[in-house]
Amino acid sequence: MSDKNSVYIRFMAPIMPNTIKSLSQCLDQAILHRSEHIHLLISSGGGSVFHGISMYNYLKGLNINITTYNFGSADSIATVLFCAGKNRICVPNARFLIHPVSLNLNAPLLLKDKDLEEQLKSIKIDTENIAKIISDTANKDIKDVEEKMHNRTTLNPIEAKKYGLATDINSNLYNNDNILYSIYEDGSIFQYIPNPEITSNMSDSPINFYNLPEQAIKKNI
């Protein structure tokens, strides 16, 4: 699991504009430094469908080997983020939750007929996109996926692997030999550089790298 061209990103946060921005910045660093393998460790209760699908599309479009991990829960749109990996690993006590897209109104709104029609159309398209992503990933009929979404289905690791959502069950996540970024729910990023030799060619990076644990930092990028 260890090689000097790998980068690990621990995403323990909801999928929201600020956390996806932080994830994008970590990915930019991996691309900038020509990483060959990105390991994305996910534990998320879900969040914004727009940002989740956008990040899934971005990850699938990268010419980099991507492995995703569910080390806690991949609920709702976080399941879609998990699907971005070619290899998809979950720890033995993880879970997945698949459910329909819902409309969240943050404040009372007066919706006209056309507005309501557009909102319902958006929900329908988002639901179809999510179902297709899971269907393509698990190699399952899209109607079966839609039924599981409609029934709010929770899968344990064994069920997820049998269904085709996960490719393996393994408790090994990270071995301290590679660069690790940790993204938290406030969008802050924790950077761990285990060996200065690994990043000796990164002096021109816009991020200030530190050797930890002696100089552990938590900062916004």
Q: Which CATH number fits domain 6-219: 2.70.150.10, 3.90.226.10, 3.40.50.10490, 3.40.50.150?
A: 3.90.226.10
What pLDDT is recorded for position 213?
Answer: 36
pLDDT for 102 beyond 80:
no
Mean pLDDT of 180-189: 94
Q: Count other C-beta atoms under 10 Å from residue 53's C-beta.
A: 18
Kindly tell me if the per-residue pLDDT of 20 is higher than 80. Answer: yes
Query: Which is nearest to 61 in space by CA: 44, 38, 89, 90?
Result: 38
> What does pLDDT average to over the chain?
85
Asked whether 64 and 36 are in contact (CB, 8 A), the reply is: yes
Q: If you average pLDDT over residues 58-84, what whole number do you get?
A: 97
Read off the DSSP letter of residue 36. Answer: S
Mean pLDDT calculated for residue range 75-81: 97
> What is the average pLDDT across 92-117?
77
Residue type, position 210, single letter:
Y
Q: State the pLDDT at residue 125.
A: 93
Query: pLDDT tens for residues 134-183?
Result: 999 999 999 999 999 999 999 999 999 999 999 999 999 997 888 899 99
Tell me if 206 sits within 8 A of 35, measured CB to CB. Answer: no
**CA 18 – CA 80 distance, rounded (Å):** 18
Q: Which of 177, 219, 209, 206 is nearest to 194 (CA)?
A: 177
User: Is the pLDDT score of 211 beyond 50?
Assistant: no
Q: Which range is least confidently modeled, 19-28, 89-98, 154-163, 193-202?
A: 193-202
Whether pLDDT at 200 is above 60: no
Helix (H) or strand (E) holding 134: helix 113-138
What's residue 140's pLDDT? 96
The pLDDT-based confidence of 50 (bands split at 50, 70, 90) is very high
